[in-house]
Structure 1
């Protein structure tokens, strides 16, 4: 029947008629293949089902184990909770028992712990820790809630007495010292009470609280080393100590030296110092010149009958050596000669006066520049740090100080030069006019001829 349907379908479609023997063979093969595919699918499905069953059993085992652990954890939690409640109740009972047994001693123990806590902070900051390290650890019972033991009470008394004795004792011992280069060496150290410490080489030390170590001061007090060495050798009984326990000595490092002060003035400060040096050089040279001129004038006064060209007075008198001059003409010649000598007498005074006036102005200029820089820093970083403002203002005022330091000596030099110049001019006028007034024209001609 199937064969007939296949043949009829093929004929109806206009296909070529195949042999009857081949059609049944192909259909059987197709059926056989379908059966093979079905068998293979059944095998795969059975394998997958077996895997699913194995996974299901494994999940069930894991679930059972998890439930067991959860039950165990719940049981342990309940046990710990009961233990915690029991311990809490027991702790409350013990604290109540302690309070009952302590009675009024509870306040005493509280005061002891408070004093021990204060002493512990004092010992951590104390310079005596360099000689007796680890003292603060013996007062660790201050952080505990238990009642201090008798030994701990004795430790408190002992450490307090030791601190009192160390405050009035000069002690020598060996201790590690941090040098300027960061290296640590064991050195002999002398401790002066709780105020200062120094090495036997003459270097003062500071106590670093955080590191609990002695450190060489970066900036030593002026003249401290010779005095310290003389004291250690027994040649002197005087020594410098810091009553603030190192605060003043540490401030020495923040105090700038003279050259550092000048550097803070910047370019304006260097300019002021250069102008001051130039003004002082001119003033000194002019002072030497005037002193030399005065010596020559005094020598000329001692030998009035012999006139010389090497001094101002001689040049003034020689200016009227011409004959046939009346007294009035001679006086006019003297005035002319004195006016010719004035530039040499007043040389450099105007320049020194100018520098004395310019130096404060340059100092004010440097101050304004420094204040501008300070306000720029405030704009960038705010005013949260007063040291930033104080440091900037201090640097800004350095130029004003330099200007005044330069201007004041220059003003004195100008005043001195002007006074000596007026004195020299007065001497020339007085001696020359006095000599002309006391001498007759005829006699003057003879004097001038001998001088010539």
Structure 2
């Protein structure tokens, strides 16, 4: 027990000594830090003093430099002022020289105008002629063979408008020569190879025939020259066949005289004729009613031709039957004769009735289709009138919506109104003629049948009386 107490006491003593030692070290460390802080502040103060001295020296150097630069700037200002005085003096000299030169130029121009006299008016006329000729050449078809002449005329016209240059005799003669060549080429037919843009958008080298200054023909088709680009382009739509015969004939290179369509406005009339609608497009303008009228016309023509052929065959058979009354065949008269032979032993009245019945059976076969032809001849113009009324309704609707300022908006309705009328009359007239033709043939056959039936009755009556 006593030993334990002593051990605890020794341990406590050791701990107390350690604590005291740590406190002593902490006090020493604090004192060192304070001393270090004091040393750092002194050094900082010394550095600030040194910095002030350095700034003062630097500022003094800068002030000295500014003073030196001020002296230099004063010298530069004096130099610039001297240069300004020299420039002003030179400007005054040049202004005086300009005024003197201007007066001299005016005097020389007056002398030039006096010496030119009537030549001045001549040069003005030459300039006007050159400008007009240049514009004419740019539109001319001869330009494909002489493309450089417009540039020469442009240079000549520019020279004519200048007051410092005078034209030479050779240049004036060149203008006269170009005018004379244009007139000479207008009476020639020239063939050359040129690049042509066809209707399919492909460029090909073709033998282009120039007919004076009027037409260009390539491969039997008319070609136009685009003034802006100078290219040769085939017309998208060629004129009708009667205008194409000359182009095709001259393209055959036969060398013979041919009838040729001449366009005096260099392709504009050909373009207008090509833009004119053909027969198919005219029919399309008639719309649904137009197609109905044409269908009716086709049916009428086919039916009339069939009936006329049938009646012609029947007429031949009947005329042949007239020479062979004792041998009835397969025709209208032959069938009536068969009825007569079958019933000739009966009474006269009975025979007459039998023959009348036979005639009545044959006449509808002969006159078959005539009523349809007659009705068609009356319906066709009525259908045309219906299309006319429909087209006018469309036209008035367009006027109501868009006004009457643009005729193209009303063209569709007017075209339908006029085309259907024409189609109706076109179908009605031949339908009426065909109806009369077939009706005449049917009437003649009917009369022959009736006459022969009456003759048979008369023969039988004579036999009965005898």
TM > 0.5: yes
Contact 2:282 2:419 in 1 (8 A): yes
1:238 lines up with 2:258 in the alignment: yes
- Aligned pair count? 370
Please tell me whether Structure 1 or Structure 2 has the larger radius of gyration of its CA atoms.
2
* Deviation by residue 1:240-261 (Cα, 9 ceiling, x = unmatched): 2424232332223212222222
Contact 2:127 2:161 in 1 (8 A): no
Give the counterpart of 1:405 among 426, 431, 441.
426
Q: Distance in 2 between matches of 1:83 and 1:281?
A: 102
1:431 lines up with 2:452 in the alignment: yes
Could you tell me how far 1:289 is from its partner in structure 2?
2.0
Q: Which moved more, 1:314-323 or 1:364-373?
A: 314-323
* Deviation by residue 1:355-388 (Cα, 9 ceiling, x = unmatched): 1111111112222222332333344444444455
Q: Distance in 2 between matches of 1:379 and 1:99?
A: 66
Partner of 1:135: 149
Could you tell me how far 1:343 is from its partner in structure 2?
1.3
Q: Distance in 2 between matches of 1:273 and 1:427?
A: 36
Contact 2:193 2:205 in 1 (8 A): yes
Contact 2:287 2:416 in 1 (8 A): no
Q: Structure 1 residues 339, 83: closer, same or farther in 2, change over 3 A?
A: farther
Contact 2:387 2:416 in 1 (8 A): no
Q: Distance in 2 between matches of 1:315 and 1:82?
A: 132
1:154 lines up with 2:173 in the alignment: yes
Could you tell me how far 1:325 is from its partner in structure 2?
3.5
Give the counterpart of 1:214 among 205, 212, 232.
232
The secondary structure found in structure 2 opposite 1:175 is: strand
Partner of 1:333: 354
Give the counterpart of 1:180 among 199, 205, 225.
199
Partner of 2:369: 348
Contact 1:327 1:441 in 2 (8 A): no
Could you tell me how far 1:91 is from its partner in structure 2?
6.7
Superposed, 1:27-426 pairs within 5 Å as 93=107, 95-140=109-154, 141-142=156-157, 145-146=161-162, 149-150=167-168, 151-199=170-218, 201-221=219-239, 222=241, 224=245, 226-230=248-252, 232-234=253-255, 236-238=256-258, 240-244=260-264, 245-308=266-329, 310-320=330-340, 321-322=342-343, 325-386=346-407, 389=410, 392-426=413-447
Could you tell me how far 1:195 is from its partner in structure 2?
1.4
RMSD: 3.4
* Deviation by residue 1:118-145 (Cα, 9 ceiling, x = unmatched): 2122111111011111322222243663
Q: Distance in 2 between matches of 1:115 and 1:322?
A: 105
Q: Structure 1 residues 125, 91: closer, same or farther in 2, change over 3 A?
A: farther
Q: Structure 1 residues 116, 185: closer, same or farther in 2, change over 3 A?
A: same
Is the helix fraction higher in 1 or 2?
Answer: 2
Contact 2:196 2:204 in 1 (8 A): yes
Q: Structure 1 residues 323, 300: closer, same or farther in 2, change over 3 A?
A: closer
Partner of 2:29: none
Contact 2:359 2:453 in 1 (8 A): no
Could you tell me how far 1:86 is from its partner in structure 2?
8.3
Q: Structure 1 residues 86, 261: closer, same or farther in 2, change over 3 A?
A: farther
- Give the TM-score taking structure 2 as reference length: 0.70
Q: Structure 1 residues 349, 254: closer, same or farther in 2, change over 3 A?
A: same
The secondary structure found in structure 1 opposite 2:210 is: strand
Q: Distance in 2 between matches of 1:400 and 1:177?
A: 43
Q: Structure 1 residues 408, 444: closer, same or farther in 2, change over 3 A?
A: farther
Contact 1:265 1:395 in 2 (8 A): yes
Could you tell me how far 1:114 is from its partner in structure 2?
2.0
The secondary structure found in structure 1 opposite 2:195 is: strand
Q: Structure 1 residues 293, 174: closer, same or farther in 2, change over 3 A?
A: closer
Q: Which moved more, 1:299-308 or 1:419-428?
A: 299-308
Q: Distance in 1 between matches of 2:116 and 2:277?
A: 60
Q: Distance in 1 between matches of 2:110 and 2:400?
A: 61
Unaligned ranges ≥5, structure 2: 1-80
- Give the TM-score taking structure 1 as reference length: 0.72
Superposed, 1:12-31 pairs within 5 Å as none
Contact 1:242 1:248 in 2 (8 A): no
